[in-house]
């Protein structure tokens, strides 16, 4: 990964591809790369859909190697949803293949002079920028089939659906998995809309004829990787729970804890939770000939994904993840897995974030567009988004816009981005993360569910404010560093509980690059990423006022615990005081 590929989309008549040196970005990867480029090169006050914004796609430091779990891809820009900096993260094959092609990042710059639609084809021989208006408004599945017809089935595709082309703020960037299905998404923040604003429908990657990236010290790298994998396999979350039931194993756990947001964050338990739990989902997948255990990219050893078949035994979608099942399920009062799976397929095909869409439908239900529990009605609303109708364009711009249009008070967003599947009143540490993250409401930015609910990395009472600031702060720092490596965030369960697994991760980086990093260096990396992101947001107009939850979380008690969010504003303002 010795260069950056800059794609100049305009204003010249013909887009150009330029191989640029790493320069100041040498040694960066993943989120560290995307946030550094956005912070340095994008004017904070620019329009997110204008020519001045840039879309940065970056593999992690260890992507393209034999290191386990190293296939996460970062996509960064100024977000059209939040108005601040954004890094959205996806699995699939994209990071591994892009890294083997030698690119530390692809940067889409400028804006086309007209409405011509393009796709990129990148292999070992170079880059082609190909105009093709015949791809317009294709769903991600049909688009991938079109690319397979042209280039065979050894490719990886990064693409947008019709939502991204229409520049909707909930639009995602899709990445194909090992079966060449567009099931892995950089979902949050409207990154797909920015890709659409650049006139790029797809990026086709072909690493045929290329080898894995070689480490500086192969033996030490191999040994560290083996220790790392052993740690993941012996941890009860990464070695047992996630492989057996996927991320949806959390449905029963959070529902029992009373932190499962139901009916647009009205209560903390859902009567239909058992019907849509990970246990029920895995059983149904196995019964129908699908897969309850599956990896989203080569080198994955946790294998928390799956394959969901319909009632006739035909492929419908990947295994819907916990946040998706919650967003389209309990949050909307829907307790039917087939309905949720259909919604997941539509989201992936149209290219929209499942969390944002589920939250948006919950707001629409509260507004009276349809009743809670109306599965067919929810499907029809998502189809409106895919068709680009007037209503669909409102919904496709997310929960905050939908709430304003329909006059809804209960709109669970921070910085314009919808909250995921944990109520901050019953999981107060995640409430701190939602409020203060540079990304808007984002559970992955500092997953306090670890110590609040799962007892991983210690135990902090989820119903009380004490200890939540420190918990979220430390997790936000650690997460930023992990996001730079290209590692799946789920490694954190083992890393938090097993010092030897954390050391093995550091040893892998050191052996690969010939470095001597320590744990303190990793912490400093995380802090530097967060500082760059916060500086950008402040220049974009953010202040402490944006680091707050919606007021109703402090005034309305959540059943069954009858609690409100109790972390004080003045304490939220200390999260980044380190």
Residue pLDDT, tens place only, 341-396? 999 999 999 999 999 999 999 999 999 999 999 999 999 999 999 999 999 999 99
User: For residue 297, what pLDDT is reported?
Assistant: 82
Query: How do residues 451-495 score in pLDDT, each as one tens digit?
Result: 999 999 999 999 999 999 999 999 999 999 999 999 998 999 999
SS3 content of the chain, % helix, strand, coil (to 5): 45, 15, 40
CATH 3.60.9.10 residue window(s) in the chain: 3-205
Give 295's pLDDT tier (boundaries 50, 70, 90): confident
Q: pLDDT > 90: what percent of the chain?
A: 95
Q: What is the per-residue pLDDT for 11?
A: 86
**Dihedral pair phi/psi, residue 502, rounded to 5°:** -60, -45
For residues 65 and 215, the answer to whether their CB atoms sit within 8 Å is yes
- Please state, in angstroms and rounded to a whole number, the distance separating the CA atoms of residues 457 and 453: 11
DSSP-assigned letters across all residues of 502-564: HHHHHHHHHHHHT----HHHHHHHHHHHHHHHHHHHHHTT--GGGS---THHHHSPBTTTTB-
CA nearest to 432, candidates 545, 570, 575, 535: 575
| pLDDT band at 12; cut points 50, 70, 90 | confident
pLDDT in tens, 523-543: 999 999 999 999 999 999 999
Distance CA 538, CA 558 (A): 33
What pLDDT shows up at residue 484? 95
Question: Within the chain, what is the greatest distance between any pair of CA atoms?
Answer: 62
For all residues of the chain together, what is the average pLDDT?
A: 96
- Is pLDDT above 80 for 228? yes
**Does pLDDT of 189 surpass 80?**
yes
Is-contact 118 199, C-beta < 8 A? yes
For residues 364 and 348, what is the distance between their CA atoms, to the nearest angstrom? Answer: 20
What is the pTM assigned to this prediction? Answer: 0.97
The pLDDT score that the predictor gives to residue 30 is: 97
End-to-end CA distance of the chain: 32
Q: Which residues contact 187 (CB under 8 A, 6 or more apart)?
A: 88, 90, 172, 352, 353, 354, 355, 356
Which residues belong to CATH 1.10.569.10 in the chain?
A: 247-415
pLDDT at 464: 98
pLDDT band at 560 (very low <50, low <70, confident <90, very high): very high
| Rounded CA separation 411/361 (Å) | 11
Residue 94 C-beta-side C-alpha neighbours within 13 Å? 31
Rounded mean pLDDT, 17-40: 96
Per the CB < 8 A criterion, the answer to whether 74 and 57 are in contact is yes
Q: Is a pLDDT exceeding 80 seen at residue 1?
A: no
| Phi, psi for 555 (deg, rounded to 5) | -115, -20
Asked whether the beta carbons of 10 and 54 are under 8 A apart, the reply is no
Q: Which of 188, 180, 151 is nearest to 77 (CA)?
A: 188
Torsion of CA 234, 421, 187, 342, to 10 degrees: 100
Given a cut of 90, whether residue 167 has pLDDT beyond it is: yes
List the one residue out of 348, 241, 354 whose CA is nearest residue 303.
Answer: 241
Percent share of the chain, pLDDT over 70: 100
Kindly report the CATH class assigned to 3-205: alpha beta
Angle among Cα 326, 241, 338 to the nearest 5 degrees reads 35
Confidence of residue 294 (pLDDT cuts 50, 70, 90): confident
292 pLDDT band, cuts 50/70/90, is confident
d(CA 26, CA 161): 32
The CATH T-level fold of domain 247-415 is 1.10.569
């Amino acid at each position: 990964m010795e260069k950056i590929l800059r794609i100049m989309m305009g204003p010249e008549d013909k887009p150009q591809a330029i191989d640029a040196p790493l320069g100041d970005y040498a040694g960066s990867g993943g989120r560290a790369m995307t946030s550094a480029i956005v912070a340095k090169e994008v004017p904070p006050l620019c329009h997110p859909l204008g020519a001045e914004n840039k879309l940065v796609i970056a593999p992690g430091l260890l992507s393209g190697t034999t290191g386990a779990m190293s296939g996460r891809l970062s996509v960064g820009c100024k977000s059209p949803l939040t108005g601040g900096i954004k890094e959205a993260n996806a699995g699939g094959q994209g990071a591994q293949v892009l890294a083997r092609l030698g690119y530390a990042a692809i940067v889409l710059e400028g804006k086309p002079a007209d409405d011509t639609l393009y796709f990129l084809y990148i292999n070992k021989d170079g880059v082609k920028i190909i105009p093709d208006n015949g791809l317009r408004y294709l769903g991600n599945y049909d688009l991938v089939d079109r690319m397979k017809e042209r280039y065979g089935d050894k490719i990886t595709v990064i693409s947008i659906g019709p939502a991204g082309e229409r520049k909707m703020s909930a639009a995602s960037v899709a990445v194909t998995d090992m079966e060449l299905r567009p099931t892995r998404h950089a979902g949050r923040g409207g990154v797909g809309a920015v890709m659409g604003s650049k006139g790029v429908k797809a990026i086709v990657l072909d690493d045929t004829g290329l080898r894995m990236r070689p480490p500086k010290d192969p033996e030490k790298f191999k040994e560290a990787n083996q220790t790392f994998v052993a740690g993941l396999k012996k941890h009860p979350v990464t070695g047992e729970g996630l492989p057996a039931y996927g991320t949806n194993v959390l449905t029963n756990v959070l529902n029992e804890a009373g932190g499962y947001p139901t009916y647009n964050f009205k209560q903390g338990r859902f009567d239909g939770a058992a019907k849509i739990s990970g246990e029920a989902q895995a059983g149904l997948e196995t019964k129908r000939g699908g897969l309850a255990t599956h990896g989203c990219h080569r080198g994955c050893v946790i294998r928390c994904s799956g394959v969901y078949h319909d009632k006739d035994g035909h492929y419908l979608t990947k295994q819907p993840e916990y946040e998706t099942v919650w967003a389209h399920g309990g949050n909307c009062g829907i307790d039917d897995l087939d309905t949720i799976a259909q919604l997941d397929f539509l989201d992936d095909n149209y290219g929209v974030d499942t969390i944002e869409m589920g939250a948006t439908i919950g707001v629409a239900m509260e507004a009276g567009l349809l009743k809670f529990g109306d599965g067919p009605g929810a499907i029809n609303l998502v189809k409106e988004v895919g068709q680009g109708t007037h209503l669909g364009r409102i919904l496709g711009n997310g929960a905050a816009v939908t709430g304003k249009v329909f006059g809804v008070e209960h709109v669970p967003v921070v910085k314009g981005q919808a909250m995921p599947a944990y109520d901050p009143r019953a999981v107060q540490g995640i409430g701190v993360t939602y409020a203060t993250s540079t990304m808007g409401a984002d559970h992955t930015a500092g997953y306090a569910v670890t110590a609040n609910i799962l007892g991983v990395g210690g135990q902090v009472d989820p119903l009380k404010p004490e200890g939540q600031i420190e918990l979220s702060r430390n997790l936000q720092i650690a997460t930023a560093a992990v996001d730079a490596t290209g590692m799946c965030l789920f490694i954190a369960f083992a890393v938090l509980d097993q010092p030897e697994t954390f050391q093995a991760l550091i040893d892998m980086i050191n052996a690969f690059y010939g470095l001597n990093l320590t744990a303190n260096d990793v912490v400093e990396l995380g802090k530097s990423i967060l500082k760059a992101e916060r500086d950008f947001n402040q220049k974009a107009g953010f202040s402490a006022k944006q680091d707050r939850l919606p007021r109703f979380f402090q005034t309305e008690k959540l059943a069954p615990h009858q609690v409100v969010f109790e972390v004080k504003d003045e304490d939220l303002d200390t999260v980044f005081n380190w």
